[in-house]
């Protein structure tokens, strides 16, 4: 799969946003992560953080690095914005990313206890889909998911790849407290609650893994671009 050139626009004085499209799609998200990996490898001056989303990528950077490390005057002696200089270099890097490996990314196995008190919505979700509970579990655990992005709360992964048969709308009335580690379905996605939070996704199970711990060197267990397999416990 080839990379089409994204639209690039500044967001304030220290962020560039690359926009690859406007839909939630596995292939499109794979392009985002391929470009993020290339930018990470390039180690551009002043790059502070890369924040991938479904179809966009935000580059947080120090604008001074693009003023002091290179010539920054144009022929008419007007200052060229740091964002323009960085955008030009980013386009060069994007042009070198000619293919995307959708199977790339670290693979993380997540043990899950499905149903019961840990997954109080599983039985109803399975019935609505015309499945037995065991069939619903098997379908949910049969897929390799992609962490499209982290959001909502620190360490919360939005996972793409859910079997369409298991798609289910969010609850009409969200719960005021969802236990940490709860594995849930919301629309066409699966997620894992990293801490006790309010939420309206349908709970199908729970993992003992700690998704976010600020005391760890890398606080979030899962990273954007990772692949995830659920393992029934």
The pTM of the whole model exceeds 0.75 = yes
| Cα distances (Å, whole numbers) of residue 74 to 13, 77, 80, 84, 86 | 19, 5, 6, 12, 15
The per-residue pLDDT for 79 is: 58
Dihedral in degrees, nearest 10, Cα atoms 41, 44, 50, 54: -70
How would CATH label the architecture of 7-96? 2-Layer Sandwich (3.30)
Q: Indicate where the chain has its CATH 2.40.100.10 domain(s).
A: 107-232
The per-residue pLDDT for 5 is: 83
107-232: CATH topology: Cyclophilin (2.40.100)
Q: Please state whether 77 falls in left (phi above 0), alpha (psi between -120 and 50) or beta.
A: left
Q: Indicate where the chain has its CATH 3.30.1360.40 domain(s).
A: 7-96
Could you report the average pLDDT of every consecutive run of 10 residues in the chain (233 residues)?
Answer: 78 94 90 93 93 96 76 50 89 86 84 98 97 98 96 95 96 96 97 97 98 95 96 95
The helix/strand/coil state of 164 is helix
The per-residue pLDDT for 72 is: 43
d(CA 93, CA 211): 32
In degrees and rounded to multiples of 5, residue 5 shows phi and psi of -65, 125
């Amino acid at each position: 799969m080839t990379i089409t050139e994204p639209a690039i626009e500044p967001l304030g004085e220290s962020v560039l946003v690359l926009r690859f499209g406007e839909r939630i799609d596995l292939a499109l998200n794979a392009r985002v992560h391929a470009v993020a990996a290339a930018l990470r490898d390039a180690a551009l001056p002043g790059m502070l953080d890369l924040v991938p989303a479904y179809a966009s990528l935000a580059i947080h950077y120090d604008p001074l690095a693009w003023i002091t490390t290179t010539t920054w005057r144009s022929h008419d002696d007007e200052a060229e914005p740091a964002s323009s200089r960085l955008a030009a270099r980013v386009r060069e890097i994007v042009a070198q990313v000619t293919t995307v490996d959708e199977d790339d990314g670290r693979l993380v196995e997540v043990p899950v206890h499905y149903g019961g008190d840990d997954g109080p919505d599983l039985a109803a979700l399975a019935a609505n889909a015309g499945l037995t509970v065991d069939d619903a579990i098997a379908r949910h655990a049969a897929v390799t998911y992609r962490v499209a992005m982290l959001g909502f709360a620190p360490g919360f992964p939005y996972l793409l790849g859910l079997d369409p048969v298991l798609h289910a709308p969010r609850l009409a009335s969200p719960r005021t407290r969802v236990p940490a580690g709860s594995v849930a379905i919301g629309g066409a996605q699966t997620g894992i609650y990293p801490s006790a939070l309010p939420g309206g996704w349908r709970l199908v199970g729970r993992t003992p893994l700690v998704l976010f711990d600020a005391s760890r060197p890398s606080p979030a267990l899962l990273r954007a671009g990772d692949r995830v397999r659920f393992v029934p416990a």
